[in-house]
Amino acid sequence: MRLAQHLFNRLGECRIDCTFGVPGDFVLPLYAAQAESGMRTIVCTHEPGAAFAADAYGRLRGLGVVLTTYGAGALNVVNATAMSYAEHSPLLVISGAPDLSQRSPEVYIHHRVKSFESQLRIFQEITIDAASVDDPSTAARVIDRVISAVIKHKRPGYLEIPRDMVNHEIAETPELRPGKADHSHIVNSAALNEVATEIIARLDAAKRPVLYAGVGVRRYDSASDAVRLAERWALPVVSSVMGKASFPESHPQFAGIYMGSLGDQHARAVIEESDCILTLGVIHSDVNTGFWTARLDSAAQIRIDDDSVTIGYHRYDNIPFACIVSEIARRRPSRTRRFTAHDTKKTHHAELDGPLATANVIEQLQGLDQSKYSFIADVGDSWFIGLELRTDIFLAPGYYASMGFAVPGALGAAIAQPERRPFVIVGDGAFQMTGCELATLATQKLRPIVLLLNNSSYMMLESLDRPRPYYALKSWDYVLMARSLGCSAERVTSGDELRAALRRAEDADCPYVIEAIVDKSDTSPVMRRIRNHMIAARAKQFANPVMNSQKREIEPARAAKI
Amino acid sequence: MRLAQHLFNRLGECRIDCTFGVPGDFVLPLYAAQAESGMRTIVCTHEPGAAFAADAYGRLRGLGVVLTTYGAGALNVVNATAMSYAEHSPLLVISGAPDLSQRSPEVYIHHRVKSFESQLRIFQEITIDAASVDDPSTAARVIDRVISAVIKHKRPGYLEIPRDMVNHEIAETPELRPGKADHSHIVNSAALNEVATEIIARLDAAKRPVLYAGVGVRRYDSASDAVRLAERWALPVVSSVMGKASFPESHPQFAGIYMGSLGDQHARAVIEESDCILTLGVIHSDVNTGFWTARLDSAAQIRIDDDSVTIGYHRYDNIPFACIVSEIARRRPSRTRRFTAHDTKKTHHAELDGPLATANVIEQLQGLDQSKYSFIADVGDSWFIGLELRTDIFLAPGYYASMGFAVPGALGAAIAQPERRPFVIVGDGAFQMTGCELATLATQKLRPIVLLLNNSSYMMLESLDRPRPYYALKSWDYVLMARSLGCSAERVTSGDELRAALRRAEDADCPYVIEAIVDKSDTSPVMRRIRNHMIAARAKQFANPVMNSQKREIEPARAAKI
DSSP letters, A299-342, are: GGEEEE-SSEEEETTEEEES--HHHHHHHHHHS--SS---PPP-
Integer Cα distance of A285 and A292 in angstroms: 8
Which residues of chain A does B111 touch, with a Cβ-Cβ cutoff of 8 Å?
86, 400-402
Q: Across the interface, do A114 and B108 touch by the CB < 8 Å criterion?
A: no
| Res A555: pLDDT | 38
% of chain B with per-residue pLDDT over 70 = 91
pLDDT at B172 over 80: no
Q: How far is CA A126 from CA A51, A52, A75, A121, B57, in A?
A: 14, 15, 12, 9, 30
Q: Across the interface, do A108 and B284 touch by the CB < 8 Å criterion?
A: yes
| Res B547: pLDDT | 35
A549 touches chain B (CB under 8 A): yes
Integer Cα distance of A337 and A339 in angstroms: 7
A391 touches chain B (CB under 8 A): no
Whether the Cβ atoms of residue A382 and residue A430 lie closer than 8 Å to each other: yes
| Res B181: pLDDT | 45
**B85, B432, B510: best mutation site toward chain A, by most A Cβ within 10 Å?**
B432
Q: How far is CA B511 from CA A236, B415, B440, in A?
A: 58, 14, 10
Interval A181-208 mean pLDDT: 86
Interval A42-68 mean pLDDT: 97
pLDDT confidence bin for A398, thresholds 50/70/90: confident
A48 touches chain B (CB under 8 A): yes
Which amino acid is present at A88?
Answer: H
Q: For A103-107, B325-329, B392-396, which range has the lowest pLDDT when averaged over its residues?
A: A103-107
pLDDT at A341 over 80: no
Q: For A79-83, A170-174, A321-325, which range has the lowest pLDDT when averaged over its residues?
A: A170-174
pLDDT at B98 over 90: yes
Per DSSP, the three-state class of A45 is coil
pLDDT digits (tens, 9 = 90+) for A407-437: 999 999 999 999 999 999 999 999 999 999 9
pLDDT at A346 over 80: no
Q: Across the interface, do A544 and B110 touch by the CB < 8 Å criterion?
A: no
pLDDT at A145 over 50: yes
pLDDT digits (tens, 9 = 90+) for B38-77: 999 999 999 999 999 999 999 999 999 999 999 999 999 9
| Res B352: pLDDT | 66
pLDDT confidence bin for A546, thresholds 50/70/90: very low
Interval B426-455 mean pLDDT: 97
Interval A141-160 mean pLDDT: 96
The ipTM value here is 0.91
| Res B75: pLDDT | 98
Interval A469-494 mean pLDDT: 96
Q: Which residue has the higher pLDDT, A539 or A432?
A: A432
Sign (positive/negative) of CA torsion B9, B12, B18, B20? negative
Nearest to B324 by CA among B247, B256, B226, B405: B226
Interval A127-147 mean pLDDT: 96
Nearest to B206 by CA among B304, B277, B299, B275: B275
Whether the Cβ atoms of residue A39 and residue A399 lie closer than 8 Å to each other: no
Interval A120-133 mean pLDDT: 97
Of A76, A105, A402, the CB nearest to B79: A76
Of B109, B126, B477, the CB nearest to A286: B109
Q: Across the interface, do A465 and B76 touch by the CB < 8 Å criterion?
A: no
pLDDT digits (tens, 9 = 90+) for B526-551: 999 999 988 887 776 444 443 333 33
Interval A15-33 mean pLDDT: 96
A555: closest chain B residue by CA: B107
Which residues of chain B does A435 touch, with a Cβ-Cβ cutoff of 8 Å?
436
| Res B555: pLDDT | 38
pLDDT at A558 over 50: no
B27: closest chain A residue by CA: A461
The DSSP bridge partners found for residue B40 are B18
Q: How close is the nearest chain A Cα to the Cα of B340, in Å?
A: 35
Q: Across the interface, do B113 and A461 touch by the CB < 8 Å criterion?
A: no
Q: Which residue has the higher pLDDT, A445 or B283?
A: A445
% of chain A with per-residue pLDDT over 70 = 91
Of B110, B471, B549, the CB nearest to A285: B110
Whether the Cβ atoms of residue A375 and residue A423 lie closer than 8 Å to each other: yes
Whether the Cβ atoms of residue A168 and residue A139 lie closer than 8 Å to each other: yes
Whether the Cβ atoms of residue A17 and residue A414 lie closer than 8 Å to each other: no
Any residues with CB less than 8 A from the CB of B282 and at least 6 apart, and which? B212, B213, B214, B215, B216, B240, B242, B243, B288, B303
- Interior angle at CA A187, CA A186 and CA A193, nearest 5: 165
| Res A276: pLDDT | 96
pLDDT at B373 over 70: yes
pLDDT confidence bin for B336, thresholds 50/70/90: confident
Interval A255-273 mean pLDDT: 94
pLDDT at B554 over 80: no
| Res A107: pLDDT | 73
Integer Cα distance of B318 and B324 in angstroms: 10
Q: Across the interface, do B433 and A45 touch by the CB < 8 Å criterion?
A: yes
Q: How close is the nearest chain A Cα to the Cα of B389, in Å?
A: 23
Whether the Cβ atoms of residue A52 and residue A414 lie closer than 8 Å to each other: no
pLDDT digits (tens, 9 = 90+) for B407-418: 999 999 999 999
| Res A185: pLDDT | 57
pLDDT at B31 over 70: yes
Of B25, B101, B122, the CB nearest to A461: B25
The DSSP bridge partners found for residue B534 are none
Interval A502-522 mean pLDDT: 95
| Burial of A347 from C-beta contacts in 10 A (0-12 / 13-18 / 19+) | exposed
CA end-to-end distance (rounded Å), chain B: 64
Q: Across the interface, do B474 and A25 touch by the CB < 8 Å criterion?
A: no
A263 touches chain B (CB under 8 A): no
